[in-house]
Amino acid sequence: MLMTGEQYIESLRKLNTRVYMFGEKVENWVDHPIIRPSINCVKVTYDLAQDPEYKDLMTAKSSLTGETINRFSHLHQSTEDLKNKVKMQRLCGQKTASCFQRCVGMDAFNSMFSSTYEIDKKYGTNYHENFKNFLKMVQTEDLVVDGAMTDPKGDRGLAPHMQKDKDLFVHIKERREDGIVVRGAKCHQTGSINSHWHIVMPTQAMREEDKDFAVAFACPTDAEGMYMIYGRQSCDTRKLEPNADIDLGNAQYGGQEALVVFDDVFIPNEYIFLAGEYEFAGMIVERFAGYHRQSYGGCKVGVGDVLIGAAALAAEYNGAQKASHIKDKLIEMTHLNETLYCCGIACSTEGYPTEAGNYQIDLLLANVCKQNITRFPYEIVRLAEDIAGGLMVTMPAQADFDSDLAVGRNGETIGEVCNKFFAAAPSCTTEQRMRVLRLIENICLGAAAVGYRTESMHGAGSPQAQRIMIQRQGNIEGKKALAKAIAGIK
């Protein structure tokens, strides 16, 4: 059954998720002003699935149950599905101007489904069945699942088993008849607090000595021994100020990252998807990262659409919309943004079926997609800031625009003074101008910059991770053979 957005929020209240922020436990984290925008953002993935205009894109027929499910919990059955995934993410980015968090679970589902099939084939384990049963529950109950991959990693020069503190990589602490006990942490986990469950995966390829670190499993977000420490964002405490919604730029939506700690969490056998078959850790990572690198060709493009629109509005409000350099900058921003979309669509179109039957994206093209994402949003941000002008970072607060305090020679209030000096083209009010500039600030430098800028660099793997994949997949030997043939080199 599809949940409504409201039901999703109510479902979170039933969890005993342990959340800490600013050194304290947050009891009612669902209504906390800093956390709530990120919950609203995930809620959009439920609301759009109920909307007749978008439900075709937002839902799919489950390959496991035949029921209609949210596309965020779907196993892609075709290249059409892969493309629809990217289109759905662009739509959600357009509606939230933020990271809507639910994709990490979707990408984990598709990676784990095909990988567990191949592990079972080699070892006769029961991971694929375990995983299918878990996913059926997720699909039927319409749950949000965090796909947790990135370990703290400690000294990057050392393998997991060589770390002085083994907890820097999630690992199996104890093997029992009925399950395993895991210990460690996952860093910068997108949407972890807002998720009902977590799928934990290894962070990198592993060798035999690291086999206790080659572990994948599912566990409820409020499992005993599990807790989260909230990651703060630029300008986050603005959300605590009264009457500052204009200053927020995007008062409704935001992303969320947290440090997730597994402080001896017991995982029953039925939720284990990998426990020591170390040579498959790399496969899980490569597939998950591939899907998530495809994802960015949708979500970041959607946020880019909002930013381009905001820049065009800012130009209009300044009365500068007819200047040829402004038009050219908007063209350039559009060109860059659509190039990213081309990459997301291309790696989907070139997708292929896995042995388990779900569809995998083209790995080379997905890595090219994400490599461009580490660059183009920065250029789009630069152009948006160029068009917006310095006022986006120097203008007074909403409280000043609202102030009745008389300060002028003739008793003018602070509000009147601000409105007088920040008035621009007659097509807009100063409030409208403020709003759009704050939105640009939010996406380029504020809370949403976590999701649009820095996440473009490091999310789904930092640039070097893609370059390694591009090197592996780029077939330089094949290209050398082409050159030899043309040049007549025997």
- Min separation Cβ 284 and Fe ion, Å: 17
Rounded Cα distance between 133 and 117, Å, is 13
Say whether residue 104 binds ligand SF4 (CB under 6 A).
Answer: yes
Show contacts with ligand SF4 in window 319-358 (CB under 6 A).
none
Q: What is the pattern of x (binds ligand SF4, CB under 6 A) and - over residues 458-477?
A: -x------------------
3-class state of residue 472 by DSSP: helix
46's contact among ligand SF4, Fe ion, none, with CB below 5 to 8 A by partner kind, is: none
Strand ordering across the sheet containing 171-176: 24-25, 19-21, 226-230, 257-268, 179-190, 171-176
> 299 catalytic, yes or no?
yes
Say whether residue 190 binds ligand SF4 (CB under 6 A).
Answer: yes
Phi first, then psi: what are they for 34, rounded to 5°?
A: -80, -35
> 24 catalytic, yes or no?
no
Say what angle helices 363-373 and 376-388 make with each other, to 10 degrees: 30
C-alpha 451 chain-centroid distance: 7
Say whether residue 455 binds ligand SF4 (CB under 6 A).
Answer: yes
Q: Which two tokens stand for residue 205?
A: 């390829």
Say what angle helices 103-123 and 281-318 make with each other, to 10 degrees: 170
Q: Which residue from 276, 344, 377, 459 is in contact with Fe ion, where contact means CB under 5 A?
A: 459
Stretch that binds Fe ion, among 168-176, 215-223, 339-347, 456-464 (CB under 5 A): 456-464
Rounded Cα distance between 206 and 249, Å, is 43
Chain position carrying tokens 């892609």: 76
Q: Which residue from 12, 21, 60, 103 is in contact with ligand SF4, where contact means CB under 6 A?
A: 103
295's contact among Fe ion, ligand SF4, none, with CB below 5 to 8 A by partner kind, is: ligand SF4
Chain position carrying tokens 């994400």: 370
Asked if residues 63 and 274 have their Cβ atoms less than 8 Å apart, the reply is no
List CB contacts of 418: < 8 A, sequence separation 6 or more: 396, 400, 401, 403, 430
Stretch that binds ligand SF4, among 8-16, 32-40, 75-83, 292-300 (CB under 6 A): 292-300
Stretch that binds ligand SF4, among 293-301, 349-357, 367-375, 404-412 (CB under 6 A): 293-301
Say whether residue 100 binds ligand SF4 (CB under 6 A).
Answer: yes
- Min separation Cβ 257 and ligand SF4, Å: 10
- Min separation Cβ 165 and Fe ion, Å: 27
Q: Which two tokens stand for residue 38?
A: 């990120």
Q: Which of 41, 99, 219, 343 is catalytic?
A: 99
Q: Please give the angle made by the CA atoms of 175, 176 and 181, to the nearest 5 degrees.
A: 55
Stretch that binds Fe ion, among 149-157, 165-173, 186-194, 249-257 (CB under 5 A): 186-194
3-class state of residue 61 by DSSP: strand
Judged by the rule CB under 6 A, the positions of this chain that interact with ligand SF4 are 89, 99-101, 103-104, 190, 295-296, 299, 451, 455, 459
- Which sequence positions are flagged as catalytic? 99, 103, 190, 257, 292, 296, 299, 455
Judged by the rule CB under 5 A, the positions of this chain that interact with Fe ion are 190, 459
